[in-house]
Every structure is written in C-alpha cells, then in structure tokens.
Structure 1
Amino acid sequence: MPKRKIEFIGKGFNIHSVSGHDPIIIKAEYVGPVACPDCNSKQLRVKDRIERLIRHESFGRQKSWIRLIVRKYHCLACNRYFRPRMPGILPYKRSTEYFRREVCLNHRDGISQAQIRRNCRIGTATVERWFHDHLELKERMFSGRKCSEVLGIDEHFFSKRKGYVTTFCDLKKHRVFEPAMGRTHDALEPFLRGLKGRERVKVVCIDLSSSYRAIVRKFFPNARIVSDRFHVIRTVLQHFLAGWKQLDPEGRRNRGLLSLVRRHADKLRPDQKERLDRYLDAHPAISELYQAKESLCRLLNIKHRTKKQSQPLIRRLLNWIWKLRYSGLPAMETLASTLENWSAEIACMWRFTKNNGITEGFHTKMEVIQRRAYGFKNFANYRLRVIVLCG
C-alpha cells in the first residue's frame, strides 16, 4: 500500500497498512521533524525502533488502534537518548488526544461512565480523570474574563452541609459568568474582592433580597440595581392571597377558586371568568382586593419606557403604596412596606427589560448536572462543570 498522510492524527505520520474490521488496525510510522528536547540540536543518530500500540478514535462504531513505529534517537551534541514528541499523542500516553476527546464529549452529552466503560473497554476512573482534564483545559479559556456590563445574581441550593451557591450570570451574552459558594456578605466577600472588572458593571438584576442589594451597592459601585419582575409580581400575589385568607378563609381553601384567582384576568376562558365573577359578586371586599391586584400587576408588567415616560408610572406606584398602607389589612400593609422599600429598584424595571429568567433557566440545567452526579460534594468539581457546560 502506498504511504499516505494520517491527517486524523497530525502532520508527520505515514500509513503503511490498514487491516481488520472491528477493531481497525492502522500500522503507521512517525517521520516528522525531530530535535533534541534538551539542546534543540538536530545532530541525531537513530539507535533503535520500537512499536507502540495506541488507541485511536472510533470510525463510526468500529474501534481503531494504531501500531506506531517510533525511533529512538541519540543526540550527538549533548549525548542524550530520547524518543520524539509527536503531535496528537502526549508523552507516556497509550491513547491519542482524539480518542480522549471522543470519550469526554460522549460523557458530556449524557452517556454514563459505566456505559463508556463497556463500549470503550476503559475504567470508569479513567473516564472521570480524562473528563476532569478536559474541563480544566476548557476552564483556562475563561480564566481571564472580566465582568459583564449586565449581571444577574441569584442563589440555588447546593448541599445540606455547604448550603447555597450564588450564581453570577452574564445576561448580555446568556451564559453563566461564575458560581460562588455562599449567599451572605461574609461568604461572598473574598470572591467579590478578587473579581476582575467590577467597575464595568452597569446593571445588576436581583430578587427582593436585602443582602444581595447591600452586596451590589458595595462591590459594584457603578451598577444600577433592577428588581426581577417575576419576583416582584410573585410577592404581590403572595400578599394578595394572604389578604384573601384574612377576609374569607373558607374560599381561600377552594383549590378551584385559587387556580382562577392566581391567573391574570385576560388569560381566563369565558366559563372560568363567569365562575370567578359569581364568587366576586358575592364577596365585594374580595372583589375590590382582586381588582387592586390586577391593576397593580398591569402596572408592574409595563416595559420599554424612557426616563421621562417612567415619571407618571412612579407616581402611580407611590399612590398604590399609600392605598395599600391604609387598607386596614395586615397583609396589604406589609406589601406596602415592601414596595416602598424597593420602589427605586422596581421603577428601574420599566426602563431595563433584563430579568433573571436567564439565570433561573441555568439553575435548571445545573440541577440536571447535579442529578447526573447523584449530588456533588466537592464544590470545585461542580464549579468546573458549570463554567464549561453553562459558560
């Protein structure tokens, strides 16, 4: 068979023969440039030839091996004996980088270590070690990143022993920037002090968390804080349900009515709206409370407003806060205090449309990563996977 280049390994390889079906045996020889690793001299003398059996990537479902002929050299300049470094094959490895990458990509795409062990005839510890090396190599590509101009900050549960992890999400490029252990000021302070480009951040989206607001004000001095619209409307709904329970505990326990009341009025079918109207007509106080909830939610759902257009909306919000404070219901009074405390951040929602829906979506993906590992105990391993798979 004529000699041909093995393009799927790298430059400098010649094929002598290809035989077999499963596995495919490729007999090849390295004939590329060689220099002494110590003195870089090319005054070399061939001392010996050896044959190495190296696992290569599969062709479809057929496994492949390379019987590689490698020469042993003697450097006449520094008197050292060595074997050449070859592209695509790391020193002391019995598999090509293409095969290692194939294993890593299969494991990343959801194939379990046990299944890869059966398919490729390698140990599960080897799969884990290769995959970890692959993640570390990918993670180095993100090590020099600076903070995005638009960040989303939210927490998710990690483990019973270590508690919660705070996710810093790049809302501009839709990727996870960095997960950090903890959710309090003391736990996040060492991480935030070493964060590059904190002064570049212009907008930070958070839920109604006072601790996160204090952290943003301290470590992101140039950032505008924007409340997450989902959490604001959920807070309004929770306090409305609490006020409904104070007025009519029996009706509040009706799961059918609860389902209708929690929806927006424009999303109800005609028969559902008729049933809800019958209940509200029989309870005027709850009807007034329901209309207040709908009007307040419509106000909070307004988007894409300029600074000038937001001025009348702010006045409407302050008017609602005043009405809720003097409504006579403890739940509404608590809601008024919450809205007043977060009025500046809520007003920013009308100008900035970014929200933490992107962050919550990544949290779902992180839960899948955790379930695949039956729960992580080592945060460093978990962080590595999150940055590579979600970043």
Structure 2
Amino acid sequence: MSIARVAAALACSWHTVNDAALTAGRQLLIEDPHRFEGVKVIGVDEHCWRHTGRGSHYVTVVIDLTPVKERRGPARLLDMVPGRSKTVFKTWLDAQSKDFRNGIEVVAMDGFTGFKTATAEELPEAVAVMDPFHVVALAGDALDQARQRVQRETTGHRGRTGDLLYGARKTLRTGADLLTEPQSRKVEKVFATDEHVEVEATWSVYQKIVAAYRHPSKKHGKQLLGEVIASLRRGIPAKLVEVKKLGRTLNRRAADILAYFDRPGTSNGPTEAINGRLEHLRGTALGFRNLANYITRALLDTGGFKSLLHPHLR
C-alpha cells in the first residue's frame, strides 16, 4: 500500500505515517549492521527506476539469493546502486567488507559482460552462473529476430493478422513438449513452407536449449546443453545470422551457463521477481523523482522488512 492509502486507513497525515515507516525501517533494516551477514549467493541485474526526465534511468540491483538456495525464505534486496556498468558493480563489491566478499560463493547474472568481469576481479573464488532465464531469453530473441527477418524478406512487410509466421509467433516460443495438437499442426504448417527453413533451424536450436534445462537429470541436461553450444561453434550457414550471433554469445559464456547444472537452484529468477515488485512499487507511488527516496522505499518493500515486523512470516 502507498503511504497515502495507509494514512487514509489510519486517519493520520501522510507525514506522520511516512516518518513512522522511515524510522522503523532505518532501525530494523537499513542501518542494521548485520544485514549483510550470512550472504552466500547473490544475484545482480539492472533496473530502470524511471522512464522520463534527464540523467541516468538505470540502477544496478544486488539481491540476496541465499534464502532461496537454502529453501528457508524469499530473496531480498541487498542494495541498489546508481548506474549500470562493470565499474558500478565492481565499486560496490570493493566497498563491502572482506568477510562479505569471502563469503560469496555464487553470483547469478544475465549475459552482461561487465557483471562477469567485475565478479572475476573482486570475487575470484566465487562461481559466476548465467541463469536459465536469460539463456532461454537469448535463444528466444534469436528465434523472434529470425522470424521477423524472414517475414520481411518473404512478404515485404512486417507481420500482420493473417500472416502465417506472425500468427505462430507465440506458439513457436512454446516448449515442444507442451504443444497441444492444434499448436503442433500450426507449427507443422509454418515449416511446410520452404521459405521458412531458416526459422525452423533457429526454432530447433531454441527447443534443444529448453529441453536441456527441463531434463530431469541435471547431469544429462548439462551434457545436452554442452552439445548444443559446441554445435554452434562452427559450420553454421551464413544465412542463419541469428544462430551465428547466439552461438558466439553462448560459447563466450559457456562455463557460466553450464555452471548452473552443478549448482541447481541458483537462478536469477528471484531477481527478476523483485524487479517486478519494484515496478509495482513505482506504480503504486505514481513514480519517484528522487533516487535516494526510491532506494529507501525499495529496501522497505523488498529488503526483508516485512519479516522483521512479522517474525511469523519468516
């Protein structure tokens, strides 16, 4: 709830409720010297905190994934730093205590090379893991780009209602093992056209990546995904530009991608979930103009403040 809604419910002024929330928040959470203790797994990602105005609109968010990995609670926001770059994350890590840095075992991240480099330099003993969410997203983006390119080349225009490729855009992103009979027939119809062979090849790579992550055996899944990545190193036809680009990215980050299978449960998915909660927070407050205020609100909303007020929710 927004401060205004709470104030209305309690028949208090906005400033009274705001002061109470900030006072309790600083005492119990923000200024707690033990807030960074016991952190073993972190997730790092970028977040757009505002969409209008001048200046940087992005921040780097650092999430504590340890409770999720140990199955004892939800992820929590550790900190939010202005900017999004290798330097931003590296500077934040360098500012933390030696005990904190030594305690970090795993860093989950997306495909941004800056986060990877900062981790390697500041946390040399930690394992970098590129989580499944972003790997599948990269493959899905390649599939969408191939579909859109072939759509333009074969029809001379962007996708429209009634176009075969455009009509199957969501079905093509569905895992093959989840397709219904009507969806399977739609896919078969799309690939029955020789002009769509490049889309079919890209779709096949996408489905193999999804299948590897969904395999019940992590050992076998790692082997399957390793084979897919290896197959994209060379010998890709020049026309499959999206597959070639995807292959370069996957091979450059192969060690980080495959590290996930040795540490199941280490995913940046909870980080994305917290990003979603922050989007909701910004909408509830009708936006923020001051980044310091936004960081404070974000910590109170997603930093574990609720469990401190209500211990039975832990």
TM-score for both structures, normalised by structure 2: 0.78
Write the mapping of 1:81-160 to structure 2, written as runs, cut at 5 A.
Answer: 110=1, 112-113=3-4, 116=7, 119-120=10-11, 122-140=12-30, 142-144=32-34, 145-146=36-37, 148-159=39-50, 160=53
2:146 maps to 1:207: no
Which one has a bigger Cα radius of gyration? 1
**Counterpart position of 1:291:** 204
CA deviation vs aligned residue, 1:122-165 (integer Å, no higher than 9, x gap): 43223322222222122256333236111111111113434212
CA deviation vs aligned residue, 1:347-383 (integer Å, no higher than 9, x gap): 1122222111111111121122222322223333222
Q: Which structure is higher in helix share?
A: 2
CA deviation vs aligned residue, 1:293-312 (integer Å, no higher than 9, x gap): 32233234446635xx6774
Write the mapping of 1:19-98 to structure 2, written as runs, cut at 5 A.
Answer: none
Is the 2:212–2:225 contact (alpha carbons within 8 Å) kept by the matching residues of 1?
A: no
- Choose which of 114, 117, 135 in structure 2 pairs with 1:232: 135
> Larger relative CO (CA 8 A, sep 6+): 1 or 2?
2
Write the mapping of 1:1-391 to structure 2, written as runs, cut at 5 A.
Answer: 110=1, 112-113=3-4, 116=7, 119-120=10-11, 122-140=12-30, 142-144=32-34, 145-146=36-37, 148-159=39-50, 160=53, 161-173=55-67, 174-196=75-97, 197-249=100-152, 250=154, 253=159, 254=163, 255-283=166-194, 285=197, 286-302=199-215, 305=218, 312-313=223-224, 315-322=226-233, 325-326=236-237, 328-353=239-264, 354-391=266-303
Aligned length: 279
Q: For the aligned residues, what is the CA RMSD? A: 2.7
CA deviation vs aligned residue, 1:325-356 (integer Å, no higher than 9, x gap): 34542222111111111111111122222111
Percent of pairs identical after alignment?
20
Q: Which structure is higher in strand share?
A: 1
Structure 2 gap ranges (5+) = 68-74, 304-314
Q: Tell me, in whole angstroms, the C-alpha distance in 2 between the residues paired with 1:311 and 1:131.
A: 47
Is the 1:239–1:335 contact (alpha carbons within 8 Å) kept by the matching residues of 2?
A: yes
Structure 1 gap ranges (5+) = 1-109
Is the 2:214–2:221 contact (alpha carbons within 8 Å) kept by the matching residues of 1?
A: no
| Secondary structure, counterpart of 1:154 in structure 2 | strand
Letter in 2 for 1:168: V
